[in-house]
Amino acid sequence: LAADVATAVAIDADKNIYLTGYTSSLDFPIQRALSPNHMGGVYDAFLMKLSPTGSAVISSTYYGASGSDEALALAVTATGRPVIGGTSTSSLLPLVNSEEDYHSNGDGFLATFAPTLGAIDSAFYIGGDGGEDIVYALATDPLDGLYAAGITESSDLYTYGAAQSSIGGATDGFIAMYVPTTTIDDYDNFNTTAGWANFGPNIPGLVTLDHDAANSALRVYVYADPTRYRISGWMTDPTNLLPYSAVGTNNIVRAKFWVYTTGQTNPAALNTIPNMRLRLSNRWAVNSMLEVFNHLNVDPGTDPLSKELRPSADPTRPSLYRVDFDPIDVPQLVNNPNTEGISRGFEAFSTDPQDNGYVALTESTIGVYPSYMLDTPISAPHEWYTTNTWAGGLKLSLNLATLLTQTLIPGTFPGEMPVEENDPLTPEPTYSESAAGVTLDTSAVPANLIGVLSRDFTPGTNRANYLRVEEGIQYRLRYHLTSTQQSNLNAQIRLRARSVQFSWAQKLEIGGALAADNLSNTIAAQSLPGVGSQNPDKDSNENGGWYTMIFHSPLNADIRPETGGTLGARMPNLYAEPGPGVNATSRRDLRVGLDLLDTASVNPASVAEQGNVTVDRIEVTEHYLVDD
């Protein structure tokens, strides 16, 4: 006979009831599940979310593998995430952010779920090789710390800062404290729109913004349009910033965005799902932005890979995307830590005419992790730099290095595409190379036009040396930039890294100096390279300094939660592309670039911007994904 055993119960801040235990039933009442099927063995753990009255099952899931898996403890974290603990004889439990493999004879485990139960935030074993290990109790604190207690027969159970570091008998008790590497400052579940506001147009027939109360989401609806781009979204308002006082000079900011899509005229046409951008920013001055293109009409050959980056179509199991930001610690931030801060943004970004339907943000968090977590890279840096006599590894003549130079006439109404100015007498942006570095300059472009210079760099002809994205890795990019321009007149400078061709792009946008309101312009002028730059990360008394951008690998199972299985099953096309060390073409290449965009703002004052930037070194280091 099948057995169903409930072992623990907990309640979240909204009075929803969580129930856990273990079951041998193959027909357990599963709804909106991460794991809809019993995984084998004697027992699987289960986790169930009930309405506050207990009269309705909101969601429920199995958790287990081929052995026997028993959940014996349950708690809900300060950010509303249920955690189960227990014991398992399965060697292949679904693990996330785990550095421990199964040991033997039954290991303890901890698994933290998203509030929807549609995704696992973290899951790992607790155990050793000596005997059985069991988690019997869990507790949390207001700072999202987690405490686990149980028993162990293992003499090699990992200990750290322990009052007792060795086993004292055949069976000992243990207690463990887990503090999140990323300290969560704010969590939004969008039961209302509080703390968020529209930015960009809200025009029926082009793009509209609304709140979905049923699925607790902020939505952007894009209309198909043959001639206009559609860019609009939501951003945190001034009441909902992460204050700079919570960041300081020694932390990196991380935001997490849970996104789904719905409402396409033809749901089977995946190339109609709107593309999107996710951002962290200091006012309108410095912006760390992830662009996710799940399709691009100009690059149909990449579509099979790009579609694997699209948001989930299941609101209960949304895709998770991460954006990190290392702020430039200029005086305006340092001297005003309680009034300056970091905002979050989410927007549709559609330039292809067939795009239609919703992209929706259903959860978001923001917090920090210590910058020293990136002090020790996995391997030696990948570097581009000048030599004493020439541009060296930055030179344009290297294989596959590219340069784009444009002068554009801006549009005059929402969604109007800029067009290229082709008058041969119109001054163009200029590009030069020397021992000082690669210089981009738009200062000659007339004030009523937009000058654009875009330069991609390459590590040479041997593709075995190329950086290629890998699962569980994040990348730190450091650019050394200077300028002969006054920093308070410089145009927008954009650091850029991309993979899957152009489908996954991380950008750090700085300025322009006169693009927005006074305080934004102050931060931009202090941050931009140039005469008067106040970027403190300098090698010497120079007109600029080092600028840091964090890039997350697109090879991440969190993006495809509704598919299940291994990463290769969730992203078969991208996963199959050649990885590091293979001398072959691969869309997993991580490409780096630098852009200069002159007078790209609609602010009338921005006509005084004249762009100039020189790069003489770029360094990229690989790091294990910082746990969140």
Highest mean pLDDT: which range of 90-94, 251-255, 539-543: 251-255
Phi-psi label, residue 362: left if phi above 0, alpha if psi -120 to 50, beta otherwise:
alpha
Higher-confidence position of 451 and 531: 531
Q: Which of 302, 336, 371 is the last residue of a domain?
A: 371
| Claim to verify: residue 159 and residue 196 sit in the same structural domain | no
Q: Residue 21 pLDDT > 70, yes or no? A: yes
Q: Stretch 422-448: mean pLDDT, rounded?
A: 90
Work out the number of other CB atoms within 10 angstroms of the CB of residue 498: 21
Query: How many structural domains does the chain have?
Result: 3
DSSP character string of 87-126: EE--TT---BS------SS-EEEEEEE-TTSSSEEEEEEE
> In this predicted model, which residue has the larger pLDDT, 1 or 283?
283
Say yes or no to pLDDT of 366 above 80. Answer: yes
Please state, in angstroms and rounded to a whole number, the distance separating the CA atoms of residues 201 and 415.
9
Would you say residue 359 has pLDDT above 60? yes
Count of Cβ atoms closer than 10 Å to residue 486 Cβ: 17
Task: Please report the pLDDT score of residue 604 as a whole number.
Answer: 75
Q: What is the pLDDT averaged over residues 281-296?
A: 97
Residues 222 and 362 in one domain: yes
Residue 279 dihedral angles phi and psi, to the nearest 5°: -140, 155
The set of residues, in sequence order, having a beta carbon less than 8 Å from that of 316 and lying 6+ positions away, is 32, 59, 116, 117, 118
The verdict on 133 and 258 lying in the same domain is: no
| Bond prior to 581 in cis (omega within 30° of 0) | no
Kind of pairing, strands 17-23 and 4-11?
antiparallel
Tens digit of each residue's pLDDT (9 = 90 or more) over 97-152: 776 789 888 999 999 998 888 778 889 999 988 789 999 999 998 767 899 999 99
Residue 289 has pLDDT above 80, yes or no: yes
Q: Which amino acid is at 373?
A: M
462 and 596 inside one domain: yes
Are 256 and 320 in contact, with CB atoms under 8 Å apart?
yes
**Can you give the residue range of the structural domain that contains 345?**
186-371
Classify residue 163 by its DSSP letter. S
Instruction: Give the DSSP letter of residue 390.
Output: S
How many residues in total does the chain contain?
Answer: 628
Q: Stretch 363-387: mean pLDDT, rounded? A: 90
What per-residue confidence (pLDDT) applies to 399?
A: 61
The tokens for 52 are 């506050």
DSSP structure class, residue 575 = H
DSSP 418-450: PEE---TTS---EEEEETTEEEEE-TTS-TTSE
Higher pLDDT, 276 or 399: 276
Residue where a domain terminates, one of 121, 155, 179:
179
Q: Does residue 129 share a domain with residue 8?
A: yes
The per-residue pLDDT for range 25-64, each reduced to its tens digit, is: 998 988 776 777 887 788 999 999 999 999 999 999 999 9
Same domain, 361 and 482: no
- Taking residues 424-440, report their average pLDDT: 91
Instruction: Report phi then psi at 391, rounded to 5.
Output: -75, -10
Q: Can you say how many angstroms the Cα of residue 15 is from the centroid of all Cα atoms in its chain?
A: 30
pLDDT digits (tens, 9 = 90+) for 215-233: 999 999 999 999 999 999 9
Residue partners of 493: CB distance under 8 A and separation at least 6: 481, 509, 510, 511, 528, 529, 594, 595, 596, 611, 613
Quote the tokens at residue 300: 């149909």
Query: Are 518 and 389 found together in one domain?
Result: yes
Write down the residue that tokens 């005086």 correspond to. Answer: 331
398 DSSP assignment: S
List Cα–Cα distances, 547 to 116, 325, 326, 328, 425, in angstroms: 38, 11, 9, 7, 36
Q: What's the rounded mean pLDDT across residues 438-467?
A: 88
How high is the pLDDT of residue 1?
A: 52
Give the domain-ending residue among 160, 179, 198: 179
pTM for the whole structure: 0.76
Amino acid letter for position 560:
R
Q: Convert 513-565 into a string of H (helix), E (strand) and C (coil).
A: CCCCCHHHHHHHHHHCCCECCCCCCCCCCCCEEEEEEEEECCCCHHHCCCCCC
pLDDT tens sequence across 388-425: 877 778 888 766 667 777 777 777 667 777 778 888 88
Q: Are residues 173 and 214 in the same domain?
A: no
What's the pLDDT score for residue 80? 86
- CB count within 10 Å of CB 559 equals 24
Q: Domain with 402 in it: what CATH number?
A: 2.60.120
Domain match, 585 and 480 both: yes
**Which pair of tokens denotes residue 223?**
């209309």
Place of tokens 């912006």: 287
Per the prediction, the chain carries an average pLDDT of 91
| Same domain, yes or no: 214 and 145 | no
Do 156 and 208 lie in a common domain? no
Pairwise CA distance, residues 275 & 267, whole Å: 15
- Whether 217 and 336 map to the same domain: the answer is yes
